């Protein structure tokens, strides 16, 4: 008789505790190989495929596309054993034996090709050599079993099993006792709660304006948007930040870039030159490459510069991190910026690509704006903002001229340094922008 194994959503790592089902990669009745991806999920930091450590026949899926599941919730059940795979070798019906570990790097062997094969109809029986035919039920979807009994109200027990359905109703003020479930034996499903929400959001008749209530569009704060909201709110709560800014003549910097690119070889981006200037400035002012340990009441100065940079994507604002930026030249920085930006736009950044930053460079000039007061990327201590570089009247060599001017903004944690240090850092950055030779002398 085949053994039915339950595969649960594994530990996602990086402090993440839940994920949203984006797309199922297998259906009930499919044959899966060991470590074959079975579902694509989106966390607050990345979109990833989850491999299953068991090989066999998928007998049930838990959760619908668009539904959030907590770590440890069942994803699928798989019937393993030679009897479950009449067309497959017995070796492929076994599990990988892995204890689920963080999602990134989860699984044993991703080199073997994914296998997906339909077998008999999902209501077919699975036979064992020494037992009578055993039917394998395969309901889709199957609610996640709850340890607690259904809540009881004045009208009696509420037929709800899924904690996610309960949470959805609670978050939106839906009284479960007033709903009639569409599931088996009146079970209240997610679709029932969503239908109730749709009814609540329906506009009132125009004939009764006094009784109508304006209902705005509700957008859930989850996934990337929710993570950004939480991080920015925490930054504002915990960090006493201050901002200083300066205009700089970037004409010489742009000329230096043009000369470097005209010499052949990999193209150098403006962002890469600004990043190189930042790492040189942080070497002079290490206070700004630090973090505050509130529990120990200590400022921790960090030895390496892991440089985050803002990248706008269809999924929202991402801040990929360039590791050990202080040891990279402009060519290496340009290549790494391009690589991470492409991954961000494709939705393929891993949580490791988005964490561990020590300083952030935000080039909001690409949006056609001159200035901003950046919010520090918690738990970092500072962020440099760069506006657009445009021709402006400027006094150069004692005469009025049209020069390429940029506004630079530095937001810093006032706990790690005073205005003198922040001003010194920003002035050094501006001097390097105005005269790249200043940077060359410091290398």
Question: Averaged in consecutive runs of 10 residues, what is the pLDDT profile of the chain (443 residues)?
Answer: 87 73 91 91 78 92 90 92 55 44 39 42 36 39 39 51 72 82 77 79 54 71 78 92 97 95 90 96 97 95 96 83 96 96 88 92 92 91 96 96 97 96 97 90 62
Read off the pTM.
0.59
22 φ, ψ to 5°?
Answer: -95, -45
Helix (H, G, I), strand (E, B), or coil: what is residue 406? strand
Give the separation between CA 182 and CA 194, rounded to whole angstroms: 12
Give pLDDT, residue 20: 86
| DSSP state letter for 367 | G
Query: Are 3-135 and 152-204 the same fold in CATH?
Result: no
Give pLDDT, residue 108: 39
- Asked if 281 and 275 count as a contact pair (C-beta separation under 8 A), the reply is no
Indicate if 306 belongs to the active site: no
* Catalytic residue chosen out of the listed positions 109, 171, 175, 418: 418
Element (H, E) at 316: strand 316-318
Task: Identify the CA nearest to 404 among candidates 417, 393, 415.
Answer: 393
Which residues does 207 contact at the CB level (< 8 Å), separation at least 6?
A: none
Using CB atoms within 10 A of its CB, is residue 393 exposed (0-12), middle (13-18) or buried (19+)? exposed
| DSSP state letter for 198 | H
CATH number of 152-204: 4.10.320.10
**Could you tell me the CA-to-CA distances from 107 to 12, 97, 203, 260, 278 in Å, in that order?**
13, 10, 49, 45, 39
Domain at 224-442, CATH class: alpha beta
Indicate if 324 belongs to the active site: no
Question: Residues for the chain: how many in total?
Answer: 443
* Catalytic residue chosen out of the listed positions 249, 293, 414, 431: 414
Helix (H, G, I), strand (E, B), or coil: what is residue 216? coil
Give the separation between CA 65 and CA 232, rounded to whole angstroms: 28
Largest CA distance in the chain: 99
User: Side-chain half-sphere of 396: how many Cα atoms within 13 Å?
Assistant: 15
Cα–Cα–Cα angle for 55, 59, 65, rounded to 5 degrees: 100
Architecture of the 3-135 domain: Beta Barrel (2.40)
Element (H, E) at 80: strand 74-80
Give me the residue spans of the domains in the chain.
3-135, 152-204, 224-442
How many Cβ atoms from other residues are within 10 Å of residue 3's Cβ?
14
């Amino acid at each position: 008789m085949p053994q039915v194994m339950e595969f649960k959503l594994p530990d996602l790592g990086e402090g993440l505790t839940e994920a949203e089902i984006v797309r199922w990669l297998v259906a009930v009745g499919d044959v899966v190989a060991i470590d074959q991806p079975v579902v694509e999920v989106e966390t607050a930091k990345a979109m990833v495929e989850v491999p299953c450590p068991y090989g066999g026949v998928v007998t049930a899926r838990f959760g619908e596309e668009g539904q959030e599941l907590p770590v440890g919730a069942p994803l699928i059940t798989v019937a393993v054993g030679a009897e479950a795979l009449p067309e497959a070798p017995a070796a492929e019906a076994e599990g990988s034996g892995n204890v689920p570990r963080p999602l990134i790097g989860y699984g044993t062997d991703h080199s073997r090709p994914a296998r997906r094969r339909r077998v008999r109809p999902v209501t077919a029986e699975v036979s064992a050599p020494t037992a009578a035919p055993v039917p394998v039920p395969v309901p889709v979807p199957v609610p996640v079993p709850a340890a607690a009994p259904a809540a009881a109200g004045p009208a009696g027990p509420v037929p709800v099993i899924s904690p996610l359905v309960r949470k959805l109703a609670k978050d939106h003020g839906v009284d479960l006792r007033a709903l009639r479930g569409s599931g088996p034996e009146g079970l209240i499903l997610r679709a029932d709660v969503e239908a109730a929400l749709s009814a609540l959001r329906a506009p009132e008749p125009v004939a009764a304006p006094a009784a109508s209530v304006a209902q705005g569009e509700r957008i859930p704060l989850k996934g990337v948007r929710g993570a950004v909201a939480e991080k920015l709110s925490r930054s504002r709560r915990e960090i006493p930040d201050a901002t200083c800014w300066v205009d700089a003549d970037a004409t010489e910097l742009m000329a230096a870039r043009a000369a470097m690119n005209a010499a052949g070889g990999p193209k150098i981006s403006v962002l890469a030159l600004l990043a190189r200037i930042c790492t040189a400035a942080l070497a002079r002012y290490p206070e700004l490459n630090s973090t505050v340990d509130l529990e120990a009441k200590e400022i921790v100065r960090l030895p390496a510069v892991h440089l985050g940079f803002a990248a706008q994507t269809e999924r929202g604002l991402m801040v990929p991190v360039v590791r050990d930026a202080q040891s990279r030249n402009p060519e290496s920085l340009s290549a790494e910026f391009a690589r991470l930006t492409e991954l961000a736009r494709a939705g393929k950044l891993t949580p490791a690509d988005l964490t561990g930053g020590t300083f952030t460079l935000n080039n909001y000039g690409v949006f056609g704006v001159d200035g901003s007061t950046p919010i520090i990327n918690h738990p970092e201590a500072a962020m440099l903002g760069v506006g657009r570089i445009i021709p402006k009247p400027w006094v150069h060599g004692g005469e009025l001229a049209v020069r390429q001017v940029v506004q630079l903004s530095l937001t810093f944690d006032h706990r790690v340094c005073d205005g003198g240090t922040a001003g010194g850092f920003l002035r050094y950055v501006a001097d390097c922008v105005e005269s790249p030779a200043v940077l060359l002398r410091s290398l």
